[in-house]
A and B are shown apart, each in its own frame.
Chain A
C-alpha cells in the first residue's frame, strides 16, 4: 500500500464518519459540527484528486459559509431540549434505511462490475487557468446566471426570514 492509498483511506474514513455523525447524533448542533468534518474530508479528497482550486472553494464556501449559516439557523429555531432535536421518524427510519441500503447495493454493484477507460498519468497542466478560460469563455452564460441566481436567492432569503410587512 503506497502513500496515496493511505491518504485516500484516511480522508474517506473522515468523510464517511462525519456523514454518519450527521444522521446519528441526537443533538442537531453536534450533527452540524459533524457536517463540517465531512465537508473538510471532501475538501481533502479534492486536493487528493489534484483539484486544488475546488478544494479551497469547498473549504471556504461549505466548511466556512454554509456551515455557519446552518448553525445560525439552528440557533434561531431551537425550541426544545437540545438532546432531542435530531430524532428520526419512528416508521420512516426503517423505510429510509432500507431504501438507502438498496440504493447503495445497486449502484455500488454496477460500479464494481463496470469497465472504465482510465486515462493514465498525472495532471500536469494549469488547471486554474483552464477553469478561468472556461468560466469566462464557453460557459460565461452559466457563470453570469449563477451570479444572478445567488443575488436573487440572498435577497429572497432576507425577505423570507424578515417577514413581509403589510402595506
Chain B
C-alpha cells in the first residue's frame, strides 16, 4: 500500500540526486538544472503533506506555488549570469570561474 512515507522517500531520493549534481558537475548550466531537481523534490514534499497531513487547508499547495515562482526567477537570473560570464571567459566550466577563489 503506497502511502505518505513513500512520497517522502521519493522526494528524498530526488533531492539526493540533485545534491550529487550540484557537487559534482563541471558545467554551470548542469548545476542550475540540479538545483531545479532539488526544488522539485521540496515541492513534492509540500504537496504530499498537504494531501495527507493537513487536508482541510490548501496552504501546502500555496507554498509550492510560491516556490515555483521563486524558482522561475532564480533560473532566469542564473542563466543570464552564466551567459554574461561566458561572454568574458569563453567558458561555462566552473573550473574557469576562479576569480574569487582563495
Residues of A within 8 Å of B, CB-based: how many?
83
Q: Are B27 and A160 neighbours in the complex by a CB distance under 8 Å? A: no
Asked, given contacts A22-B33, A79-B90, whether A42 binds B40 with beta carbons under 8 Å apart, the answer is yes
**Cα distance A127–B98 in the bound complex, in angstroms:** 48
**Cα distance A96–B9 in the bound complex, in angstroms:** 20
Q: Are B10 and A97 neighbours in the complex by a CB distance under 8 Å? A: no
Give which listed residue, A12, A57, A154, contacts B65 with CB less than 8 A.
A57
For B23, the closest partner residue in chain A by CB is A96
Q: Are A118 and B53 neighbours in the complex by a CB distance under 8 Å? A: yes
**Cα distance A101–B24 in the bound complex, in angstroms:** 13
Residues from chain B with Cβ under 8 Å of A114 in the complex: 5
For A5, the closest partner residue in chain B by CB is B2
Q: Are A49 and B51 neighbours in the complex by a CB distance under 8 Å? A: yes
B97 lies within 8 A of chain A by Cβ: no
Residues of B within 8 Å of A, CB-based: how many?
75
**Cα distance A48–B91 in the bound complex, in angstroms:** 42
Q: Mark A75-99, 1 if CB is under 8 A from B, else 0.
A: 0110100000111110011011101
Q: Among residues 36 to 90 in chain B, which have CB atoms less than 8 Å away from a CB atom of chain A?
A: 36-37, 40, 43-44, 47-48, 50-59, 61-62, 64-66, 68-77, 79-84, 86-87, 90
A167 lies within 8 A of chain B by Cβ: no
**Cα distance A50–B57 in the bound complex, in angstroms:** 13
Q: Are A116 and B65 neighbours in the complex by a CB distance under 8 Å? A: no
Query: 12 other contacts beyond A16-B14, A58-B68, A89-B26, with CB at 8 A cut-off?
Result: A19-B18, A20-B17, A23-B17, A79-B86, A86-B30, A92-B24, A96-B21, A100-B20, A139-B62, A160-B77, A160-B80, A160-B83
Q: Can you give 26 A-B contacts (C-beta < 8 A)?
A: A35-B33, A38-B37, A38-B40, A39-B40, A46-B47, A61-B72, A62-B68, A70-B32, A88-B24, A88-B26, A92-B23, A92-B24, A103-B15, A103-B16, A107-B15, A108-B13, A116-B4, A118-B53, A123-B51, A130-B57, A131-B58, A135-B65, A146-B66, A146-B70, A149-B73, A150-B73
